[in-house]
Amino acid sequence: MGKATGFMEYERKDQKTDKPEQRIKHFQEFHTPLSREEQELQGARCMGCGVPFCQSGQMIMGMASGCPLHNLIPEWNDLIYHGNWEEAYYRLIKTNNFPEFTSRVCPALCEASCTCSLHDRAVSAKGNEFGIIENAYAMGYAKAEPPRVRTGRKVAVIGSGPAGLAAADQLNRRGHLVTVYEREDRVGGLLRYGIPNMKLEKQVIDRKIAVMEEEGVIFKPDCDVGKDIRVSSILREYDKVILACGASNPRDIKAAGRDAKGIYFAVDFLKSTTKCIWRHNMSLKEGEYLSAKGKKVLVIGGGDTGNDCVGTCIRHGAESVMQIEMMPKLPSERACDNPWPEWPKVHKTDYGQEEAAVIFGKDSRIYQTTVKEFIKDESGNLYKVVLVNLKSKKDEKSGKFFMEQVQGSEYTVEANLVLIAAGFLGAEEYAPKAFGTDLNERTQVWTESGSYKTSVKNVYTAGDMHRGQSLVVWAIREGREAAREVDMDLMGYTNLSVQ
């Protein structure tokens, strides 16, 4: 453990955050890391508890409690407290291929189940993870380690998001020859263009990709397998194939006037901004992205993607931003039926919503609300939206609750840009169709329970394409588990670890 009395002696301390008025002027990360000495004291707060739920990753009431990667959190907290940062790095990468990603974009399931959070603030596991990986790059520990022996077996990974990258990294370490195909012009999947620079600057991805290339992984961007490249040629060339194409089929809003000009899916909006920033060295050029400048924006969806849309629109210079969410506002503290170590179902304010509150003078979110109609002008341009309130109602047959419109609660708001951030339904059909894999009722690629093998010989799947839209940590875990199964089938045994 860290220091036996550390959690009583030291208060939690997080990275310093730029004020909203300052950070909305740019698209860069806006946190200042703690010093090495400050981070070591945060490691001292770890209690080394008898049952470390932080690394359990178990499902409780349908929600993950602790890290799905089973990161050895108490171990590396203790190591950094004692100043052994190099060994902390090796313990960290034993379970996590990409701590440079998770320490930036993961919602920190580990901290939510930290024993210290029962009566105090959780140990800053996410901040400690960030400190370990960034120190490793600075000190040269996070360098390329090519495998000493090659098996001669070839594996193709279709998709370069966190699941595909994790599978590729694991299989390459084992000595297999791995090629990753990506349909976009640059590698990274939704990490690249779906997550704004404010949360994950793209040089962080490039840094890791460069290491993987030096270790022998081959990346082929601008290659859309199933469209640009024949599936038959992939199956002939490679011994095994892993489909990790994500759940990129966005959920739409079915309402009158949906065909109005000015309605976009959130992922398309965010992608256009991130691509433009990359082309023009961290700045925007008018006419090359979907702009919210001077617009009255309505964001549909209250999750991470909706928040990213709010933050991006503010940086564009939007006139106003409103964010609607179907579900009720969560309580400020855990309810009695949501005890520790369950994931806390409590009200949170993310960076975009914090910025909106400062810039516009109030919280941008409206709860228990949905769209009833989009109103367009004579030219087909969106200019108003009819909203309606919702209430929770129980289905007497199934016993499940659903949200029902409140009759007579309709009201109209002005909006000339709508961004739909309502989640994703499953995989796009063309890749599974091209490979001939079966889909389940949720349009995810079907496998037997506990397996990553699809219905097609030598074809496997992992990540959101397999489990549905989820977190980066789950995608990495799926990629690692799929790699282990592929290795077992190729070699008859495996020494790849999952945890």
Predicted confidence (pLDDT) per residue in 214-233, tens digit: 999 999 999 999 999 999 99
Q: What is the spatial distance between Cα 6 and Cα 251, in angstroms, rounded to a whole number?
A: 47
Q: Identify the pLDDT of residue 365.
A: 97
Q: Identify the pLDDT of residue 379.
A: 97
Q: What is the spatial distance between Cα 310 and Cα 323, in angstroms, rounded to a whole number?
A: 8
Q: Identify the pLDDT of residue 396.
A: 85
Average pLDDT, the chain: 95
Mean pLDDT over 110-119 rounds to 93
Q: What is the spatial distance between Cα 291 and Cα 285, in angstroms, rounded to a whole number?
A: 10
CB neighbour class for 408 (10 Å; exposed up to 12, middle 13-18, buried from 19) = exposed
Q: What is the spatial distance between Cα 73 and Cα 58, in angstroms, rounded to a whole number?
A: 15
Total Cβ atoms within 10 A of residue 327 = 12
Question: Rounded to whole angstroms, what are the CA distances from 77 to 2, 67, 118, 483?
Answer: 6, 15, 19, 28
Q: Do the beta carbons of residue 243 and residue 461 sit within 8 Å?
A: yes
List alpha helices for 194-255, DSSP H: 202-214, 231-237
Q: What is the pTM of this model?
A: 0.96
Q: What is the spatial distance between Cα 372 and Cα 138, in angstroms, rounded to a whole number?
A: 53
Q: Identify the pLDDT of residue 49.
A: 87
Q: What is the spatial distance between Cα 253 and Cα 361, in angstroms, rounded to a whole number?
A: 29
Q: How far is CA 314 from the centre of its chain?
A: 21
The pLDDT-based confidence of 211 (bands split at 50, 70, 90) is very high
Q: In the numeric block, which tokens belong to residue 263?
A: 């309605």
Strands 296-300 and 417-420: parallel
Q: Identify the pLDDT of residue 152.
A: 97
Task: Report percent pLDDT > 70 for the chain.
Answer: 100
Q: What is the DSSP string of 65-105?
A: ES-TT---HHHHHHHHHTT-HHHHHHHHHTT-S-HHHHHHH
Total Cβ atoms within 10 A of residue 300 = 26
Nearest to 439 by CA among 447, 422, 170: 447
pLDDT > 80? residue 499: no
For the segment 2-48, what is each residue's pLDDT rounded down to a tens digit? 788 999 999 999 999 999 999 999 999 999 999 999 999 999 999 87
Q: What is the spatial distance between Cα 162 and Cα 183, in angstroms, rounded to a whole number?
A: 15
pLDDT > 70? residue 1: no
Element spanning 170, H or E? helix 162-174
The pLDDT-based confidence of 328 (bands split at 50, 70, 90) is very high
Q: What is the spatial distance between Cα 276 and Cα 268, in angstroms, rounded to a whole number?
A: 12
CB neighbour class for 269 (10 Å; exposed up to 12, middle 13-18, buried from 19) = buried
For the segment 462-485, what is each residue's pLDDT rounded down to a tens digit? 999 999 999 999 999 999 999 999
Q: Do the beta carbons of residue 69 and residue 499 sit within 8 Å?
A: yes
Q: Do the beta carbons of residue 371 and residue 260 sit within 8 Å?
A: no
pLDDT > 90? residue 281: no
The DSSP letter of residue 442 is T
Q: Identify the pLDDT of residue 54.
A: 95
For the segment 53-71, what is each residue's pLDDT rounded down to a tens digit? 999 999 999 889 999 999 9
pLDDT > 90? residue 408: yes
Strands 411-414 and 296-300: unpaired
Q: What is the number of alpha carbons within 13 Å of residue 483 lying toward its C-beta?
A: 30
